[in-house]
Chain A
Amino acid sequence: VQLVESGGGLVKPGGSLRLSCAASGFTFSDHYMSWIRQAPGKGLEWVSYISSSGTTIYYADSLKGRFTISRDNAKNSVYLQMNSLRAEDTAVYYCVRGGGPMFDPWGRGTLVTVSS
């Protein structure tokens, strides 16, 4: 089972980024998927999850309206579109299998830095 994130980088405040996560080694379409982030030196913060079919989506309240999660089961991929980025969105973003009772496994993460 492997999850590989991509798309992170340096972006200016107010900018946008789209993170991708490629999954392999399991039946992707059977599983909820989530994004969880970790600011430098800080703890873990759940961002969003999407159901196996994509019909059920939840976001952390603090992110509503700025972030959009989506998935393409044909490509075994999940995405996070991040708009109106702020300095406080700077973090490592992890792609994780699962929707809440447990998160397993985790990708290695992709760093998003929001700075002018």
Chain B
Amino acid sequence: EIVLTQSPDTLSLSPGERATLSCRASQSVSSSYLAWYQQKPGQAPRLLIYGASSRTTGIPDRFSGSGSGTDFTLTISRLEPEDFAVYYCQQYDGSPITFGQGTRLEIK
């Protein structure tokens, strides 16, 4: 099983700041099979990024994904109030499909 470890567990930032969220895999993951999701309280997750760096339809360009191999990053260039949420990475390269434990992005 590929274990995804996200860091930090909690990130405290202010609106307007840049957020950098990390996702590290226990073994190499094809970039094609790494996705990022955002979940707000009481809501279902929604897809932000697939293929490590492709934004899905409707996601603002302040969200960007990068990385390869075992290290992937989600960057939010300038935080808006609505961006404070929990973020999960997910891989499909190995069975079973696994998610990271999540990073909570909170307002400082």
**Which A residues are within 8 Å of any B CB, using their own CB?**
43-46, 49, 58, 60-61, 94, 100-109
Contact = CB atoms under 8 A, between A and B. Distances in A.
Given A100-B33, A101-B51, A103-B35, A44 B46 contact: no
B98 interface: yes
B28 interface: no
A100 B88 contact: no
Contacts of A101: 32-33, 35, 50-51, 92
Contacts of B47: 102-105
Q: Which 3 A-B pairs have the closest CB atoms?
A: A100-B92, A104-B47, A102-B50
A109 to B, nearest CB: 6
Q: Which among A61, A100, A105 has the greatest number of chain B C-beta atoms within 10 A?
A: A100
B10 interface: no
Contacts of B46: 104-106
A100 B32 CA distance: 11
Interface residues of B, number: 23
Given A100-B97, A107-B44, A44 B88 contact: yes
A106 B45 contact: yes
Interface in B47-92: 47, 50-51, 56, 88, 90, 92
Contacts of B33: 100-101
